[in-house]
Amino acid sequence: MAQSDDDKVMGRINGEQPDGQPEENLWLRLLFMVLIAAMISVAQTVLALLTVIQFIILLTNHRKPNAQLAEFGTSLGIWIAKAARYQTVASEVKPWPWTELD
């Protein structure tokens, strides 16, 4: 049975959870959380720019979006979701660049 797009995205967001890993030092986790918070800020800026660019493309291309920008937006959203899950301790999996992007 084929997966829907939503199921594929949820699979990419949740990813593999480590089993039986030793607990991470809390101070090291804080360092990662601060770094990831800065990266989320950059990601939000990139998302805002992509939004404006995609809207301009819609205006000039007869309402046809750029497929590569749309796919990049999906990947960026998944990265932000993974980062948020790590930040809120819903996951022990760090987002890229510490793990695979998808």
Token output for 91 = 């996951």
Number of residues in the chain: 102
Tell me the Ramachandran region of residue 20: left when phi exceeds 0, alpha when psi lies from -120 to 50, beta otherwise. left
In terms of C-beta distances under 8 Å and separation of at least 24 residues, what long-range contacts does 2-11 make, across chains too?
9/74, 9/78
pTM of the full structure: 0.78
pLDDT score at 14: 67
Below-50 pLDDT ranges, the chain: none
Tell me how far apart the terminal alpha carbons of the chain are, to the nearest angstrom: 21
Residue in the structure block whose two tokens are 């101070």: 27
pLDDT score at 9: 65
pLDDT score at 95: 95
